[in-house]
Amino acid sequence: MSTFEVKIPDLGGHDNVPVIEVLVSEGEAVEAEQPLIVLESDKATMEVPAPKAGTVGKLTVKVGDNVSAGSVICTLELTPATATEKPAPSAEKPAAPSAPPAAAPEKPAAAQAAAATAAAAAAATQTLDVRIPDIGGHDNVPVIEILVADGDVVAQDQPLLVMESDKATMEMPAPAAGTVQGFALKVGSTVSQGDLVCQLIKAASAPAPAATAPTAPTAAESATTLPGPSATRSVLESDTAPQAPITTARPETPPYAGPATRQFARKLGVDLVQVSGSGARGRIVIEDVQAFVKQRLQQPAAAIANAPMLGGGIPPIPAVDFSAFGTVDEKPLARIRKLSAAHLSRAWLNIPHVTQTDDADITELEAFRQDHNRALGKDGNKLTLLAFMVKAVASALKAYPEFNSSLSADGGSLLMKQYCNIGFAADTPNGLVVPVVRDVWRKGLRDIAADCAQLAQKARDGKLSADDMRGGCFSISSLGGIGGGYFTPIVNAPEVGILGVSKAVMKPVWDGQAFVPRLMCPLSLSYDHRVIDGAYAARFMVHLGELLADLRRLLL
Ligand code: CAO
């Protein structure tokens, strides 16, 4: 059995590149081309593969070591089949990995001089051709991500694109700060050294007239990270006016993962942006992708429902750096607000809402209520308008029972409730809560009013229990004490209807002979159109209006 040392191949002239992962252990059998370790410079992540199949002997590198070409990774005992073959070329002279140079070699002096001369002659702005640098001698390397677009202002070293060979993933950084123009590549393009990527319109570092006071290239220009092509890079005079200083921040960095992981994720259609990395420095490894897929497959509807704002692949609203426009104070959301935000988003996204509006004539109701409350004096339990709404809605639910139902989980049937619990939205300093009045069919107005008052007080004091908010069949959201007209309340899923009550106002109403002043209360009924038809909802609304207009009907 022959043994040889596996060494670090040529790293594009780079030394002291950190080892970020060791993928094998001593005694482990490996296939030819199986990755042994992962190196990472500030610009590229690269795997070093086994040149032959065999068994790993002594490992001489560990995570955190810095390695250069020729450093020994491990010994490899060749398996008999491969040992009889010709010695692996990498045993003596490691094959160049597909790793790109992590940082550029110094620019040739001639190129620097040429660039300096051209820059000195340049006017206020310059156009720079950005080309693919030396990528470890590889041709036709696929572009897997484009990180900028025409018109983007980029900082020096900001990644422009990501290339991926079968062994390495590498970002190509901007050689200088400037505005991207004429981006010539797209995802899937294959590139080789010298291919044009785009042009960069560079703002001059000093606006002084170049002809009279030529400026030397900035540090950014001379310390470009692009190797090779810099010698032939053209620095041309441009007609465009001088630009404002570049202030754009670097965009989000692409996911940090090696080529094998990227390839694996692509096969499964996993967007690595969504995967958290468990590897060194947050690197995403294959196991992370597997765990992500497993978790997604197991994710029941309930878990998806916990995602507060996102669902159903709806694209998120891009983050905005508001501090660019002025001072911003960050105020954490109260727990209740977070919970209700999640709940409302779910309901809004899942339920096809329709909102029906109408005015209910509550002239007689309000007269009765006022008389009753006056007679009670100071100490009695007042009848609130809300209590009348709860009572009238409960009666309407009996007449239109589909409003007192929920869709079954599979959507195949309606669960018709033979009880009536009605929730009402309560505005509290910490956000919206919906306590539930129980058994409304069995209660009179006084009890309902007392329950509402007690629950509203508990809500304001932050003392509602989970039980106080469970088991609702239908909800009422009353903004009547505040003002405003109709609105579109969101159905409190899994309920199928919600009544919005707005401030009643005196209106002239035609009674067939004359306009008479009537107290009209705007009502907004939102319903789940999967369960309720529009005609059914309109009948419910008319019936509710009749109940509120003539309380005697509540007795029927
Ligand atoms: N029209 C005209 N006036 C009305 C009215 C209406 N529809 N509803 C209430 N009022 C008047 C009444 O004069 C009432 O006082 P009196 O009953 O003593 O005469 C006064 O406004 C106070 O009403 P209120 O709404 O504060 O009290 P309530 O008992 O009727 O309601 C509660 C309690 C908990 C519903 C209410 O305090 C509340 O929180 N409302 C907001 C609900 C909410 O936020 N909904 C939106 C949810 S979706 O974002």
Q: What is the DSSP string of 374-441?
A: HHH-SSS-PPPHHHHHHHHHHHHHHHSGGGGEEE-TTSS-EEE-SS--EEE-EEETTEEE--EE--GG
Q: Does residue 219 or residue 96 have the better pLDDT?
A: 96
- CATH number, domain 122-198, options 3.40.50.12160, 2.60.120.280, 3.50.50.60, 2.40.50.100: 2.40.50.100
Q: What distance in angstroms lies between residue 84's CA and the mean position of ligand 1's atoms?
A: 90
Q: What distance in angstroms lies between residue 426's CA and the mean position of ligand 1's atoms?
A: 9
Calculate the alpha carbon distances from 295 to 227, 274, 299, 342, 359 in Å: 43, 12, 6, 20, 49
Band the pLDDT of 32: cuts 50, 70, 90.
confident
| CA nearest ligand 1 atom 5, residue | 480
What pLDDT is recorded for position 97?
38
Q: Does residue 440 or residue 215 have the better pLDDT?
A: 440
Band the pLDDT of 245: cuts 50, 70, 90.
very low
Band the pLDDT of 306: cuts 50, 70, 90.
very low
Q: Which of 374, 457, 478 to mutate to test the pocket of ligand 1 (most atoms within 8 A of CB)?
A: 478
Q: Which of 355, 365, 384 to mutate to test the pocket of ligand 1 (most atoms within 8 A of CB)?
A: 384
Calculate the alpha carbon distances from 372 to 56, 183, 209, 377 in Å: 92, 77, 87, 9
Domain assignments of the chain as residue spans, ordered by start: 2-85, 122-198, 259-324, 353-555
**Whether the predicted pLDDT of 319 surpasses 60:** yes
Band the pLDDT of 127: cuts 50, 70, 90.
confident
**Which whole number is the average pLDDT over 453-481?**
96
Is the C-beta atom of 524 inside 6 A of ligand 1?
Answer: no
Q: Does residue 219 or residue 9 have the better pLDDT?
A: 9
Whether 343 is catalytic: no
Is the C-beta atom of 426 inside 6 A of ligand 1?
Answer: yes
Is the C-beta atom of 455 inside 6 A of ligand 1?
Answer: no
> Of these residues, 343, 353, 529, 543, which one is catalytic?
529
Is the C-beta atom of 384 inside 6 A of ligand 1?
Answer: yes
Ligand 1 atom closest to 386 (CA): 30
What pLDDT is recorded for position 204?
55
Q: What distance in angstroms lies between residue 446's CA and the mean position of ligand 1's atoms?
A: 17
Q: How far, in Å, CA of 347 to CA of 434, rounded?
A: 14
CATH fold group of domain 2-85: OB fold (Dihydrolipoamide Acetyltransferase, E2P) (2.40.50)
CB contact at 8 A, 308 and 322: no
The 3 state secondary structure assigned to 191-244 is ECCCCEEEEEEEECCCCCCCCCCCCCCCHHHHCCCCCHHHHHCCEEECCCCCCC
Which tens digit of pLDDT belongs to each residue from 325-383?
Answer: 999 999 988 888 888 999 999 999 999 999 999 999 999 999 999 999 999 877 778 99
Which residues, 6 or more positions from 251, have their beta carbon under 8 angstroms from its beta carbon?
147, 148, 158
Is the C-beta atom of 362 inside 6 A of ligand 1?
Answer: no
Most confident of 263-267, 279-283, 296-300: 263-267
> Residue 186 is which amino acid?
K
Band the pLDDT of 498: cuts 50, 70, 90.
very high
Residues in the chain: 556
Mean of the per-residue pLDDT values of the chain: 80
| CA nearest ligand 1 atom 11, residue | 481
Q: What distance in angstroms lies between residue 503's CA and the mean position of ligand 1's atoms?
A: 8
What is the spatial order of strands in the sheet that 141-146 belongs to? Answer: 66-67, 17-22, 35-40, 44-49, 168-173, 159-164, 141-146, 190-191
Q: What distance in angstroms lies between residue 540's CA and the mean position of ligand 1's atoms?
A: 23
**Which whole number is the average pLDDT over 450-464?**
96
Q: Does residue 389 or residue 119 have the better pLDDT?
A: 389
Most confident of 41-45, 97-101, 542-546: 542-546
Q: Does residue 333 or residue 530 have the better pLDDT?
A: 530
Band the pLDDT of 253: cuts 50, 70, 90.
low
Q: Are strands 497-501 and 515-528 parallel, antiparallel or unpaired?
A: antiparallel
Is the C-beta atom of 389 inside 6 A of ligand 1?
Answer: no
What pLDDT is recorded for position 239?
47
Q: How far, in Å, CA of 189 to CA of 149, rounded?
A: 15
What pLDDT is recorded for position 383?
96
* pTM of the predicted structure, to 2 decimals: 0.53
What pLDDT is recorded for position 203?
66
**Whether the predicted pLDDT of 145 surpasses 60:** yes
71 backbone dihedrals φ, ψ, rounded to 5°: -60, 140
- CATH number, domain 353-555, options 3.30.559.10, 3.40.50.1970, 3.40.1350.10, 1.20.210.10: 3.30.559.10
Which residues, 6 or more positions from 268, have their beta carbon under 8 angstroms from its beta carbon?
289, 293
**Which whole number is the average pLDDT over 168-179?**
85
Segment among 95-104, 164-173, 222-231 with least mean pLDDT? 222-231
**Whether the predicted pLDDT of 217 surpasses 70:** no
What pLDDT is recorded for position 47?
84
What pLDDT is recorded for position 371?
95
Q: Does residue 151 or residue 425 have the better pLDDT?
A: 425
CB contact at 8 A, 139 and 154: no
Q: What distance in angstroms lies between residue 194's CA and the mean position of ligand 1's atoms?
A: 72
**Which whole number is the average pLDDT over 414-435?**
95
Tokens standing for 163? Answer: 């290339």
Is the C-beta atom of 484 inside 6 A of ligand 1?
Answer: no
Tokens standing for 440? Answer: 């409304």
Q: Can you say how many angstroms the Cα of residue 72 is from the centroid of all Cα atoms in its chain?
A: 43
Is the C-beta atom of 480 inside 6 A of ligand 1?
Answer: yes
**Whether the predicted pLDDT of 432 surpasses 50:** yes
**Whether the predicted pLDDT of 242 surpasses 90:** no
Is the C-beta atom of 261 inside 6 A of ligand 1?
Answer: no
Which tens digit of pLDDT belongs to each residue from 390-413?
Answer: 999 999 999 999 999 999 989 999
**Which whole number is the average pLDDT over 182-192?**
89
**Which whole number is the average pLDDT over 414-437?**
96
Band the pLDDT of 64: cuts 50, 70, 90.
confident
Q: What distance in angstroms lies between residue 466's CA and the mean position of ligand 1's atoms?
A: 23
Cα atoms in the Cβ-side hemisphere of radius 13 Å centred on 167: 24
478 backbone dihedrals φ, ψ, rounded to 5°: -105, 115
What pLDDT is recorded for position 147?
84
Is the C-beta atom of 386 inside 6 A of ligand 1?
Answer: yes
Band the pLDDT of 273: cuts 50, 70, 90.
confident
**Whether the predicted pLDDT of 228 surpasses 80:** no
* Topology agreement, domain 2-85 and domain 122-198: yes
**Whether the predicted pLDDT of 307 surpasses 70:** no
Is the C-beta atom of 485 inside 6 A of ligand 1?
Answer: no
**Whether the predicted pLDDT of 53 surpasses 80:** yes
Cα atoms in the Cβ-side hemisphere of radius 13 Å centred on 239: 0
Tokens standing for 410? Answer: 């599979």
Q: Which of 363, 369, 381, 385 to mutate to test the pocket of ligand 1 (most atoms within 8 A of CB)?
A: 385
What pLDDT is recorded for position 84?
47
Q: What distance in angstroms lies between residue 362's CA and the mean position of ligand 1's atoms?
A: 15
Q: How far, in Å, CA of 316 to CA of 295, rounded?
A: 21
| CA nearest ligand 1 atom 46, residue | 477
Tell me the CA end-to-end span of the chain in Å, nearest whole number: 98
CB contact at 8 A, 95 and 30: no
Is the C-beta atom of 503 inside 6 A of ligand 1?
Answer: yes
